[in-house]
Amino acid sequence: MLKRFEFQVPKSERRTRLEDFLFNRFGELSRMYLRDVVKGGLCQVNGRFENVGYRLRPDDFIEIELDPTRAGAMRPENIPLNILFEDADILVLEKPAGMLVHPTHRDKSGTLLNGLSYHLNKNGGSNIRPGLVHRLDKHTSGLMVIAKNLKAHRNLASQFHRKLVEKKYLALVDGVVSEEDGTIERPVGRFEDLKLWDVKADGKNSVTRFRVVERRYAASMLELEPVTGRTNQLRIHCAAIGHPIVGDTERGGTAHSRLCLHAFRLSFRHPTSREDVRFESAMPEQFLFDSE
The CATH number of domain 167-264 is 3.30.2350.10: yes
Active-site residue identified among 89, 107, 137, 181: 137
Which parts of the chain sit beneath pLDDT 70?
71-74, 104-105, 125-126, 289-292
Architecture per CATH, 72-162: 2-Layer Sandwich (3.30)
Provide the terminal-to-terminal Cα distance of the chain, rounded to the nearest Å.
49
**What pLDDT is attached to residue 289?**
58
Asked if 72-162 and 167-264 have one fold, the answer is yes
Active site residue 137: yes
CA 86 to chain centre: 19
Residues 6+ apart with CB under 8 A from 98: 138, 139, 258
Provide the residue ranges of all domains of the chain, joining segments of one domain with +. 3-66, 72-162, 167-264
Q: 83, 89 in Cβ contact below 8 A? A: no
Start-end of H helices in the chain: 18-25, 31-39, 112-121, 150-161, 233-240
**What pLDDT is attached to residue 150?**
84
**What pLDDT is attached to residue 291?**
44
Q: What's phi and psi for 247, nearest 5 deg? A: 95, -15
Fold for domain 3-66?
A: 3.10.290
* The model's pTM: 0.80
**What pLDDT is attached to residue 64?**
95
